[in-house]
A and B are shown apart, each in its own frame.
Chain A
Amino acid sequence: MTSLADEPVRSSWTSPAADAAGRRLRVFARLVRCSGPSSGADAIEYRLHAGGALLFCTASQPTYAGALGRAAELADARAALARLPLRQGCDESSAVTSSLDQITNRGRNAEIPDALQDLAEEIAVDVHEACAAFDDPNLWYPGVDEGIEPVPDEHVRLVIAALQRELDRERRNALGQNVEPRLPPAPLAELPWSIQRALAERRRLRFSQYGIGRPQWEAGAWSLWDVREDADWLPRRAANVGRAGGYAGW
Chain B
Amino acid sequence: MSLGGGVSTAQARLERRPARLSLARRESLKGLGYSAPTAVIVGVFFLLPLVLVVWMSMNRWRILGSPTFNFPDNYTKIPDNQLFLDSVTFTLKYTAITTVLLSGIALALALSVQNQRPGVGLFRTAYFLPGAVGFAAASLLFYGFYSQTGPLDSILMDLGIADEPINWLGTPNAALFSTIGMVIWRFAGFNMLILLTGLQAIPTEVYEAARSDGASRWQTFRYITLPLLRSTIALMLVISITGSLLAFDQFFILTRGGPDGTTVSMVMVIFREGFTRFDLGSAAALSVLLLVVLVVLNVIQLRVLGRER
Q: Do A and B bind each other?
A: no
* A interface, CB within 8 angstroms of B: none
* B interface, CB within 8 angstroms of A: none
